[in-house]
Structure 1
Amino acid sequence: MVLGTTSGAGKSWLTTALCRWYSNQGFKVAPFKAQNMSNNARVVAGLQGGEGEVGSAQYFQALAARAEPEVRMNPLLLKPEADTRSQVVLLGQVNQALTEMPWRGRSEHVWPAIAQALDDLRADHDVVVIEGAGSPAEINLHASDIVNMRVARHAQADCLLVSDIDRGGAFAHLFGTWALLPEDERALIKGFVLNKFRGDASLLAPAPEMLQDLTGVPTVAVIPMLWEHGLPEEDGVFDDRSRGAAGAVHTRIAVLAYPRISNLDEFQPLKNVPGVRLQWARTPAEVQGVDWIILPGSKATAADLAWLRAQGLDQAVAEHAARGGRVLGVCGGLQMLGEALIDTHGIDGNAPGLGLLPLVTAFAPDKTVRHAQSRFGAAQGAWSALADCPVQGYEIHHGQTAQHPAMAAAGDVARELIPGLAWQNAAGNVLGLYLHGLFEDARVLQALFGAQARTLEQVFQGLGEGIDRYFDPAWRAAAQAEARAPR
């Protein structure tokens, strides 16, 4: 199990790397995270042959493990809709009763499903690599914990505790976290990991030895700062230093980073395309001079649209489109580009749209969650490179979008490039689609840029090789021996 002293310490990255490393040793591997709070989700195999949602991190971890992603790998997903409210997804499906239940009262209701999912994965695999959440030493949450030490105790997992040394205070973070745990839980901590280190590792001495004298726990790895490791960020916008685009830049793309942005991880491939400069934008000044503006998905479309207007970004997008600049809306972004959002069920909210596509969206109580593959129709103008291009991805949305009838009667009709999934304006420079994962399709990147990004397989292999490079050989040998031990 991988635990962290803080959010952002590197748990997801390290869990993904360990999944590939164990798989490289020939083991059958699965990832697991009991509860993930994220608006970055993927469509995966559900129970009894259906489909459901899990956090994107567990999806990528499963691919790194060479396993089919499935809902047992992240049995509880919380999708924030506001600062004090989240949609609850249990075993891949929205659970309205749990969504309405007080947070502290929810734990005992969901624990049986979490424990069963973990037990089933352990029975089916040689190794399960578990990711914790936040810090295991949040003493105000310990009694209702269902994601950190309760999981560790249930599985009797060997735990690594990782700290972000670039923030400063890493040894205090490690010692303080260890010290706040009860003695039986301290005994599960088998190694400390220093992540995001910059400098001469020899200068760390004698701190690791002193920490081991205090805790009995060795520091088993020092991982350097890896700005461009290639793995999508799970919960935060990328750092400026990780934007890639080495050499000459031919395309500048701004992604509008509204408060409830979702599925931001799908833009990682754009960071990896040579000559593409990707940046997040929260002000009109940050979209000046760009070639593309992307309106990404949103977990609260009407609220994020109001935020966009408050920043003056609505006018900036309209001016960019009027100049012929490319605009792309994905899922919630597509809904914003239309004429209106209509919500008669209290799902998201009513709002006028940006008016760049003659479409209207009505929110439905049932959520569409499915994989999709299709082919673009006769795309024209700025997006003509996509004409007849095959594409695959996934849908996660409550909205149902269609041509605005009154505008159609007046002759303003959107060009439907994929039935029910993609539309283009008459000028050809504004494109909206429900399909997530567009840029993860190599055929799309080739069509748009004439180039390819580093593949996920290459990224995962690099992460796995990093375990051999940065972890103590004695720890690696012990980890392999433990995985091969009879059950």
Structure 2
Amino acid sequence: MFAGTASDVGKSVITAGFCRILKQDGYSPAPFKAQNMSLNSYATPDGLEIGRAQAVQAEAAGVPCHTDMNPVLLKPTNDQSAQLVLHGKPAGNQSAWEYFMQDDKHLLFEEVKGAFNRLSARYNPIVMEGAGSISELNLRHRDITNMRIALHAGAAVYLIADIDRGGIFGSVYGTIALLPPEEKALIKGIIINKFRGDIRLFDDGRKQLESLTGVPVTGVLPYYQDIHIEEEDSLGLSIRHKKLSTGKVNIAVVLLRHMSNFTDFNVLEKDERVNIFYTDNPADIAAADIIILPGSKHTIADLVAIKNNGTARAITEAHKRNKVVIGICGGYQMMGTQVADPYGVEGETASIPGLGILPVTTVLTKEKVTQQRSFHYRNGEKLCEGYEIHMGDTVSEHPSPLNHLHNGMPDGYFLSGKCWGTYLHGILDNDVVINDLLTQCGKVMAVKDFDYRRFKDQQYDKLAAHIREHLDIKAVYKTLEL
């Protein structure tokens, strides 16, 4: 298990790196995170839903993703509540109080243990990821993600700390000191992550940490910027704002409060033809060549918000000026004439007018669609790949599908080359779609072929090499043997 002194210290990425290392060394690893909280999810091959981070880790391990790798997924709907996804299926909305206080999560922990047991019967070793900090005293007896499941698994636990944040000695020493003896015994090493500068400068610090804690420092990982692994959370999207470029296609992704599946834009961020930024500023949207309305976990609330802050008006005005405007999933729903919620899926608002850009209407449904999809974009010959995760049916009196799924079903609405909507996440991972999209804005752009799958595979190998260089891998294997 890779556990942390806090959130966002690098657990997900290091877990993915070890999944690739173990695969390279001839083992059959699989990732496991008992409980994940994220709006960034993925559809499994059997049509269920897990956290995107575990799908990435499974990809690094070279195995199909499965709900046993992430049996509990929490998708926040607002500051106080979240949708509970259990074994890949929605199990209702719960407030934070209900989720953490009811039953001390005894029943959920039984489900988590069952998922781990099934997974460990199929793969070896299991590479576990913790959540947040492992020393939250008030939550320990309700913990299903960190040391409680580590004890059940008999896991060798490596504690990760982010030195870039500062306070490394207090966070590491305090975390270990607060653990009871049976949990402390599981800690086999400390990993210092995101070190900037000459690692030799931390030699004394390494010795002092080992002396203070009685736990060896397994390694110090330097900060890097040349390895690209999909991120688990959308932290920092709002600061990814670049100045408008005259030599590139400027793409504004509308920054929604409940934005989901922001990994839809990973390929665009790596395209040198593109200058992509995330914004809810009407002036930024007006200046962009392409505007993308992304997915949302709370379509109606986000639609109200962009109407109130002027973003919606900027989008509709851009459309009238013949700018490229597209929508994905919740963004597609917003582009229609109406979004109705007769079953109270998202709250008390029964219906709200959309942006009126596309002649479609949406009814939010109780059942969630979670499917991996193959499709043909705009009747093209190339078979593309994507996935659906949504609760809603979108229809039009005059259907005009953007895509045709491999099973023959239509998807989305095509108004013109400059305006369309789709339910398919990952649609922009396909070079045929990106090349077509960029040509629509009127700028002369060279056609580019980009194999995203191959690119990701190369990044996992780079990450594995980075970890091998700076961590004592032999010590990790020795711990596992013991």
Q: Choose which of 474, 477, 486 in structure 1 pairs with 2:474.
A: 477
Give yes or no for contact 1:255–1:295 (8 Å, CA) kept in 2: yes
Give the structure-1-normalised TM-score: 0.89
Q: Given the alignment of the two structures, is residue 81 of structure 1 paired with residue 77 of structure 2, yes or no?
A: yes
Residue pairs, 1:157-168, within 5 angstroms: 157-168=155-166
Task: Give the C-alpha shift of residue 23 in structure 1.
Answer: 0.8
Task: Give the C-alpha shift of residue 98 in structure 1.
Answer: 7.0
Alpha-carbon distance in structure 2 between the residues aligned to 1:159 and 1:416: 48
Alpha-carbon distance in structure 2 between the residues aligned to 1:415 and 1:121: 40
Aligned to 2:426: 437
Give yes or no for contact 1:359–1:402 (8 Å, CA) kept in 2: yes
Task: Give the C-alpha shift of residue 414 in structure 1.
Answer: 5.1
Give yes or no for contact 2:6–2:133 (8 Å, CA) kept in 1: yes
Q: Secondary structure at the match of 1:119?
A: helix
What letter is aligned with 2:285?
A: V
Give yes or no for contact 1:4–1:162 (8 Å, CA) kept in 2: yes
Give yes or no for contact 1:230–1:272 (8 Å, CA) kept in 2: no
Aligned to 2:40: 40
1:37-77: CA deviation from partner (whole Å, max 9, x where unpaired): 111111114xxxx4210000000100100111101000001
Aligned to 1:393: 386
Alpha-carbon distance in structure 1 between the residues aligned to 2:43 and 2:274: 28
Give the structure-2-normalised TM-score: 0.90
Aligned to 2:366: 365
Alpha-carbon distance in structure 1 between the residues aligned to 2:257 and 2:240: 21
Alpha-carbon distance in structure 1 between the residues aligned to 2:6 and 2:383: 42
Alpha-carbon distance in structure 1 between the residues aligned to 2:340 and 2:240: 38
What letter is aligned with 1:79?
A: K
Residue pairs, 1:344-355, within 5 angstroms: 344-348=342-346, 349=349, 350-355=351-356
Residues 239/21 of structure 1: CA separation in 2 closer, same or farther (3 Å cut): farther
Give yes or no for contact 1:375–1:391 (8 Å, CA) kept in 2: yes
Q: Given the alignment of the two structures, is residue 229 of structure 1 paired with residue 191 of structure 2, yes or no?
A: no
Task: Give the C-alpha shift of residue 470 in structure 1.
Answer: 1.6
Alpha-carbon distance in structure 1 between the residues aligned to 2:109 and 2:401: 48
Q: Secondary structure at the match of 1:82?
A: coil
What letter is aligned with 1:392?
A: E
Aligned to 2:444: none
Aligned to 1:313: 311
Determine what percentage of the aligned residue pairs are the same residue.
Answer: 36
Aligned to 1:381: none
Judge which range, 291-300 or 278-287, deviates more: 278-287
What letter is aligned with 1:324?
A: N
Aligned residues: 461
Q: Given the alignment of the two structures, is residue 140 of structure 1 paired with residue 138 of structure 2, yes or no?
A: yes
Aligned to 1:382: none
Task: Give the C-alpha shift of residue 208 in structure 1.
Answer: 1.4
Aligned to 1:65: 61
Judge which range, 460-469 or 326-335, deviates more: 460-469
Alpha-carbon distance in structure 2 between the residues aligned to 1:53 and 1:174: 34
1:371-405: CA deviation from partner (whole Å, max 9, x where unpaired): 22221235xxxxxxxx55432211111110011x4
Task: Give the C-alpha shift of residue 238 in structure 1.
Answer: 4.7
Residues 102/167 of structure 1: CA separation in 2 closer, same or farther (3 Å cut): closer
Q: CA RMSD in A?
A: 2.4
Task: Give the C-alpha shift of residue 342 in structure 1.
Answer: 0.9
Alpha-carbon distance in structure 2 between the residues aligned to 1:430 and 1:365: 29
Give yes or no for contact 2:238–2:255 (8 Å, CA) kept in 1: no
Q: Given the alignment of the two structures, is residue 104 of structure 1 paired with residue 101 of structure 2, yes or no?
A: yes
1:441-476: CA deviation from partner (whole Å, max 9, x where unpaired): 34434555523165211111111111112213xxx1
Q: Secondary structure at the match of 1:140?
A: helix
Q: Secondary structure at the match of 1:205?
A: helix
Task: Give the C-alpha shift of residue 364 in structure 1.
Answer: 1.2
What letter is aligned with 1:202?
A: R
Task: Give the C-alpha shift of residue 231 in structure 1.
Answer: 1.2
Q: Choose which of 335, 340, 354 in structure 2 pairs with 1:342.
A: 340
Unaligned runs of 5+ in 1: 379-386
Alpha-carbon distance in structure 2 between the residues aligned to 1:26 and 1:17: 15
What letter is aligned with 1:361?
A: T
Aligned to 1:424: 414
Alpha-carbon distance in structure 1 between the residues aligned to 2:457 and 2:241: 20
Task: Give the C-alpha shift of residue 303 in structure 1.
Answer: 0.3
Give yes or no for contact 2:82–2:95 (8 Å, CA) kept in 1: yes
Task: Give the C-alpha shift of residue 260 in structure 1.
Answer: 0.6
Give yes or no for contact 1:19–1:61 (8 Å, CA) kept in 2: yes
Unaligned runs of 5+ in 2: 438-446
Task: Give the C-alpha shift of residue 120 in structure 1.
Answer: 1.7
Judge which range, 162-171 or 353-362, deviates more: 162-171
Give yes or no for contact 1:359–1:414 (8 Å, CA) kept in 2: no
Judge which range, 236-245 or 318-327, deviates more: 236-245
Q: Given the alignment of the two structures, is residue 8 of structure 1 paired with residue 8 of structure 2, yes or no?
A: yes
Alpha-carbon distance in structure 1 between the residues aligned to 2:320 and 2:198: 52
Residues 76/99 of structure 1: CA separation in 2 closer, same or farther (3 Å cut): farther
Alpha-carbon distance in structure 1 between the residues aligned to 2:241 and 2:226: 8
Task: Give the C-alpha shift of residue 88 in structure 1.
Answer: 0.8
Q: Secondary structure at the match of 1:134?
A: coil
